[in-house]
Homo-oligomer: A and B are copies of this chain.
Amino acid sequence: MSAFRIGVLVAICAALCAAIVLPAARPAPQAPASLANDPRLIEDLVYANRILYQQDVLDGFGHVSVRSDKDPSHFLMSRSMAPALVTSNDIMEYGSDGEPLDARGRNSYVERYIHAAIYRVRPDVKAIVHSHSPDIIPYSVTGVTLRPVYHVTAFLRLGAPVFDSHDGFGDTDMLIRDNKLGDGLAKVLGNSGVALIRGHGFVAVANSTPIVVYRAIYTQLNARVQGEGMKLGTIKVLTPGEAEKAQAILEATVGRPWELWKTQVGKIQ
């Protein structure tokens, strides 16, 4: 390579350096006081938001939460905003009743009670996703059960139960806007990994953030596959024995897609 070319590259580098150093010479924004003992809990929560948006599970609506590792009766979730834009500065802490502990004027998601209610009755659950996935809706409004049609969705086990707000609550705006509705949903969820919400969406739960993200993404995929399969004929679903074994092995390897999804999101500012 010619000396002239090298000279041009050096000039470009000098300019790049100026562009990098100068903004840093200004004071950095204040880092938030940490809401978690393990900083990766917050980092993974932010990634979960971004991944689920990129994977079309969340759009302008929907949310992700994790149980606090400082106080297990609390949970952490972004303030009310689009998941695509969440950063660590947006994470807030909520009590077991779903109310924010230090709002400082920030709005909370109306449906935080989905998360609060499930954390209250499921000590095994450490992370929750709520999505309005269009692919799921048909299984929430037709009486057709969403069942595991292939091994990667074995966690659906015997099928996803459906919570219908009309049963017990009549005509509502269909949002899970208080603890009573949240309790109703948690009761239908039972010990399952996924429950559908009639004419609304679904909730996925798990004992870690990578696994709950995996379950949310693959629940949506299962809906598409089952729909196509049912148009061809009767689907031979996983047996209970197959589902139990397949779920264990696939969730043991969740690191592989999780790392890929994080790489696809890239660095978060």
Contact = CB atoms under 8 A, between A and B. Distances in A.
Indicate the size class of the contact surface on chain A. Answer: 35 or more
A96 to B, nearest CB: 25
A266 interface: no
A81 B172 CA distance: 43
Contact of A227 (B150, B199, B228): B228
Interface of A: 1, 4-6, 8-22, 24-28, 59-61, 80-82, 84-85, 110, 132, 134-135, 137-144, 149-152, 154, 166, 170-175, 198-201, 221, 224-225, 227-239, 241-242, 245-246, 248-249, 253, 256-261, 263-264
Contacts of A9: 20-21, 24
Given A9-B20, A26-B1, A171-B245, A60 B232 contact: no
Counted per complex, copies of this chain come to 4
9 contacts: A6-B21, A16-B20, A61-B256, A137-B150, A142-B229, A174-B238, A174-B245, A175-B246, A230-B232
The majority secondary structure among interface residues of chain A is helix
A245 B166 CA distance: 13
A24 B11 contact: no
Contacts of A242: 166, 171-174, 199
Contacts of A259: 81-82, 85
The 3 closest A-B pairs by CB, nearest first: A60-B257, A171-B241, A13-B17
